[in-house]
Amino acid sequence: MQRDINNALQEITDLKNEAKSSKNKLRSFFESSSVIHLLIDTDLRVIDYNRAAVNFIKKHCKINIKVGTKASRLIHKDQVASFMENYVKALDGIPVRMEQEFKYGGERILWFLNYEPAWDCDGNILGMSYNAVDITEKVANENKIVAQYYSLESIAYIHSHHFRAPVTNIMGLMNIFKINGYKTTKQELLMMQRAVNELEVQMTRIENHLV
């Protein structure tokens, strides 16, 4: 009997330790994330946050965030209307995801914003989970790749459509020179010059696409 009690107590202790370990791991992940996390209750007050939120809000809002801080104090002035609208939706159980760009001093930041209902263990909504990811650099890199793709397409078009004529003309004139024992006339040299000039124009167009 005592052995069964001891085994049961040990099992409870193991479960508590496992739960504590899982909680610590989750908190560690939460704190090390570069994503801004805020948990906001139904009174629009912050009930949890991570280090990324602390650092960003202190830098740009000049506020030391703490439990109980009004969330309305922490958001960009141009975000107020959409934030409140999405907050209401989240409390109604409707998640919202969107991109928005805001200016902070001389810095522009493009955000991916996630407004999610926050549920308790009984399935009741206790507030909103707000996550903000800075995607400025990611989008800039994607735009750069797209621009490079179109630049390469333009170069390919120039190469296939505009290089052909001057190169063909030069090759044709060279054949004439060869047939005539490399003796040429002023008119043929002028034709060669026009073909070379056209080739130079197309090369300049390609160089401009590579800049």
Q: What would the 3-class secondary structure string for 144-211 be?
A: HHHHHHHHHHHHHHHHHHCCHHHHHHHHHHHHHHHHCCCCCCHHHHHHHHHHHHHHHHHHHHHHHHHC
Could you say which of 75, 104, 134 is where a domain stops? 134
Could you say which of 84, 104, 134 is where a domain stops? 134
User: Has residue 123 been placed in a domain?
Assistant: yes
Position 45 scores a pLDDT of 95
User: Has residue 12 been placed in a domain?
Assistant: no
Which helix (H) or strand (E) segment is 55 a member of? helix 51-60
Tell me, yes or no, whether 123 and 147 share the same domain: no
Tell me, yes or no, whether 100 and 150 share the same domain: no
Residue among 88, 205, 97 at smallest CA distance from 155: 205
Query: What whole-number distance in Å separates Cα of residue 81 and Cα of residue 87?
Result: 10
Tell me, yes or no, whether 42 and 90 share the same domain: yes
Tell me, yes or no, whether 81 and 52 share the same domain: yes
User: How far is it between the farthest Cα atoms of the chain?
Assistant: 118
Tell me, yes or no, whether 37 and 130 share the same domain: yes
User: Has residue 20 been placed in a domain?
Assistant: no
Position 2 scores a pLDDT of 46
Position 4 scores a pLDDT of 43
Position 207 scores a pLDDT of 57
User: Has residue 193 been placed in a domain?
Assistant: yes
Tell me, yes or no, whether 106 and 155 share the same domain: no
Number of domains observed in the structure of the chain:
2
Tell me, yes or no, whether 82 and 129 share the same domain: yes
Instruction: Indicate the pTM of the whole model.
Output: 0.58
Q: Which domain holds residue 84?
A: 32-134
Listed as ranges, residues in the chain with pLDDT below 50 are 1-2, 4-10, 12, 14-26, 29
Tell me, yes or no, whether 164 and 87 share the same domain: no
